[in-house]
Structure 1
C-alpha cells in the first residue's frame, strides 16, 4: 500500500520536478558548502599568517629594548617599552591560540601546526619571556646579557617562521581542494542546466504546446476539440479538465442567451434602485415643508413598489404617540382610526417597540385581530422605520391588496430610504431651531439697542416733564424757559436715535464686496453727523459668509453711533486689513474715557455689549482701547483658524 502510494505520488509533475530540483540543490549546496568552508579556512589561515608574521617584528623590538637596559639613562623608558612588548606578544599568542571566527582567524586543525604552535608557546614562556623579565628585575644589565636575549629572540623567530611555513603548506593544500570544488560546481551547473532544459521540455513545454493548440481551436469556437490524456501528472489532469470544460461549453453555449437576459434584468433592477435613491435624495434636499417632503417621498416609493396605499408617521417621544403625517391610497375611516396611535397599539404600534422592519401577511392572521386595514381588503402591510442621525423618528407603511414578499435587496433599499427621510426630517428640525435661535439673539440685540438709545432718551424726557410740571405748579417761568430747550433737544436726540436704529435694522448687504458696503455706511454717517471719516482697505474683504459680513456692518454702525453720541470727535479712521487674519479697526480723536469705569456701568449704555455679542457670533475677538482726552479705538480681530470662507 505504501509502495503504491509513493509510486502514485511520483507520477505527479510537481513531485518529479521538486525531487529533481531538490537533488540537484542538495549536491550543489554540498559543493558550495565545502567551497565556502575551504574559503573560510583559507581566510582564517591567512589572518593567522599575518598575525604570526607580526610576532617577528614584535620579537625584534623586544630584543632591541632589552639591549637598552644596559644604558642607565634609557633604562626606565626601556623597561616601560618591554612591559608593553611582553603584553602585546602574550595577547598575540593568546589570540592565535583561541582564534576569532568573526574575522575569521584560527590555526588550521592539523597536528603538525598544533605541535609547531605548542613549541612556539614553550619557547616564549619557557625561555625568552622569563629571561627578559629577569633582566628587567636585575639592578644592572651587562651587554652580554642583552646579547643573550637577542640569541633567544633569534631562536623564537625561527620557531615563528617554522609555524608560518607549516600554515602556508596547509593553505596550498586547501587551495587545491577549493579549486577542485569550484571546477566540480561548474560541471554540475552545466550538467544540471542541460538536464533541466531537457526535462522541462519533456514534462512542461510539450504538454503546454498541445494545450495551446487546443485553446486556439477553442477560440475559433471548435468545441469538439479534445486533448489526449497520456500521463497521470498535472498535465494529464489538465488535459482531462480541458476535455470536461469543452463538454460543458458545448452544453452551456445554448443557454448563454438566457443567462445574459438574467444578468441584464439584474442590472436593470440595480439601476432602478440607484435611480430611486438618487431621485429621493435630491428631492429630500430641497427646501420645503415637512408634509410636502413626506408626501413626495411616499408617492415615489409607492410608485416604485406598486403599493396600493401608504402613510408616513412620526413619533412624539414625550407622549409616546404616533401621528400620521401624510397618507395615500387609504380610506378616510382608516386615516381617522389610526391618525394618532399609542406606542404598542395595533401592529404599527408594536413595531415601534422593537424598531425592526416588519412585513405582515394579513390573510394568515387569526380572526381575533380585528384590523381596519384587513377589513378594507389589504393583504400585506409593511412597516419600515425612519431613523435620524441621533434618534428614532417614526416609520412609513406600504399597503398592498395582493400578497407581497420583499427580497433582502428590497428590504435593504427601503431601510436606506428610511434613513434618507430621517436625515432630511432631522435637518429640517435643526434648521428650524437655528432660525429660532438666530431670531431670539437678534431680538435680544434689538432690545439692547432700544435700551441704549430710546429707553434712556425717554427716561430723560420723563424727568424733564416732571420738572416742567413742578415749575408750572410753582409759576416759575424762568425754570420753564430752561427746561423747554432741554425737552426739545431730548426729543430731537430720540428722533435721531429712532432713525439710526431703523437704518441699522434695515441694513442689507449690497451686491458687491464688504469694502463697498462699508464705504456706503461710512459715507452716510459722515453726511449725517458732519464728522470726517477716513476709510482704508487693503482688499475687498472677501471671502466671507454673508451673515458674517452683515455682522461686521452692524459692529461698524454701532461703533460709529457711539462716536456720534459720546465721543465729540472731529475725525474717525477706519481700516480693514484682510490677509490671512482679518482685522477691522475704528479709531476716533474724541474725548475718550477710562475703560475701568465700564465695570461699574451697564455695558449697554455705550453699545459695547452689543458689539461683543456680534463679534462672538462670528468667532472674532473685540478689543477696546481708550483714555481720557486720547480718543477711542475698537479693534475686531478674526484669526485664520476661526475664519470661514463664503
Structure 2
C-alpha cells in the first residue's frame, strides 16, 4: 500500500489514468442499467395499444351482435362470431402478457385476471346466447329488448374495467421510465463529479505548471534569465521544472555579456534600417513628382520621427539669393509650436550656403539650418528644431546631409525640367511669330500700300461713297496690323529662369517707364510654381491690362496683385485710378477678346468692372494644375 501511495504521488499519468478509468466505469454502468431497463420496457407501448383496443372491440362486438339479432341474417352472425374470436386473440396476445409483471400479486396481474374472468364468465356467454336467439325476458318479433339493455350495461362496466387495466399498464410504464431516468441521473451526476475532479486535478497539476513553464520560457526568450519556476515536485512536471531551472541558470551565465553586445548591434542595425528606409522613400517621393508642399511635409514628418527631433520647415530660394518662400512646415501654432521663421532677414537663415545653428525664439531650442544644394547652386534651406544643448550623433548628421543633397538635386532637376519645357514653349512661339511676320504681316503691309494707290487713282478728294469705303478699309487694316504687332510681341515674350515674379517685375518697370505712371506690384505665390504655359498666360493678361491702362485709362497710380489663397486659387488683379469705361468695354479696341480667350484656356474667368472710387479693375482667377495649399510667404515690389 505504501508503494502504491508513493507511486501515486510520483506519477501524474497514474492519477490521470485512474480518473479516466472512473469516468469510463461510470459511463459503462449507466449504459448497462439503461439497457436492462429498456429491455423490460420493450413491448410496453404495444401492450398499452392492445389493451386500449379492447374498448373499441367491445362496443363493436355488441353492435354486431345486436345487428345480427335484429336482422336474423347468417352473414351478420358470422361477422359477430369473427369479432368475438379476434377479441379473444387480442386478450391472450403475447405482447400484452409480456408487459405484465411476473409477480402474481401485482396490481396489473389482478386487473388482468379480473378482466379475463368477467369476459369469459359473463360477457362472452351472453353474446353467444344472443347470437343463438336465446335471451331473458319477453320477446317481440324474435328480439328481447330487456336483454339488449342488460347486455349494453354489462359492456359499459367491462369497458370501465378495461380503462382501469390500461391505466395500470401506463403507470407501470411510467415507473420504469422514472427508474431509467433515476439511474441515468445518478450515473450522470457521479460522472460529472469525477469529470470536475479530474479537470481540477488537470488544471492544478498539469495546466498551471505547463502555463507557468511556457510563460517562463517566453520570458527567457525576452532575456529574463533570472526567473525560476516553483513547480519542482516529485512528479513528471516537477522534474521538468527542476531541469528548466538548471537550464535558465546556465543561459544566464552564457548570455549575461552577450545580451549587451546584441542590444548594441540591434540598435545600430535598427538605426541603419530606418535611415535606409527614410532615404528610399524620400528619394521615391522627391524624384517621382513635382516640388509639392504635401510631399515635403511628409518628408519633414518622417525626419522628425526617425531622428526624434522637433518640427521643421523647408524654404525655397526665389529669384534673389537673400529671399526665400516657405515650401512646407510641420509648425502648428495651435499646439504651441515655436515658429522657426522668427527672423525677418532670409539671408540670416540661408547662412551663406553652409550648415549653421542659431537660437530659437523661445531660447529653449536650437535651429539647425542645412542648405539644399545641387552641384550648381543653392535652392533652399532645411530648418530643424532640436533641444538646446543636444548634439546630433554622427549617423544623424550623415543622414541629414544625404537627404539635403537629394532634396537639392530633386529641386534642381525639377527646375531644369520646368525651364526646359518653358524654353521649348518659347521656341515654338518664336517660330510662330516668325511665320506670322513673314506671311501675314507682309500681306497686311502690301494691302495698306494698295489702299494708298487706290486713293491716288480715285483722286483728291475721292467720291463720297468711295472715300467712306477707303476710310473704313484703312481703319480695318490699321487695326488688324496693330493686333498682329501685339500678337507678335506676345509670341516673342520670354520668361527667364528666375521665374514669373522676376518677369512681372520687369513688366512693371517697362510699362511704368513707358507711361510715366506709378505701378505697385504685390506678388504672393507662397511657393506655388506655375507651369510654363500658365506663367505665359498670366504674364500676357497682366501686360495687356497694363497696356490698356497706359494707352486709355489716363491713370496716375496702378496696383498689380498676384496671390495664391488657401483654397488653391490664383488671382491676378490690375487696378487703376483712371477714367474707367462707359458701358461694356470695346472688346476689339482694348484687346479684351484675347484676354478672355487666355482666361478660358486656363480654366478660369476674367472680370472687368469700374471701381466705386473711380478707375477700372481687371481680375483673373483660376486654379493652377500643380500647386497645393499655400504657405504664408510674400514678395513685394514697387516701381515708379
After TM superposition, the score normalised by the length of structure 2 is 0.33
Higher relative contact order (CA 8 A, sep 6+): 2
Structure ID, larger Rg: 2
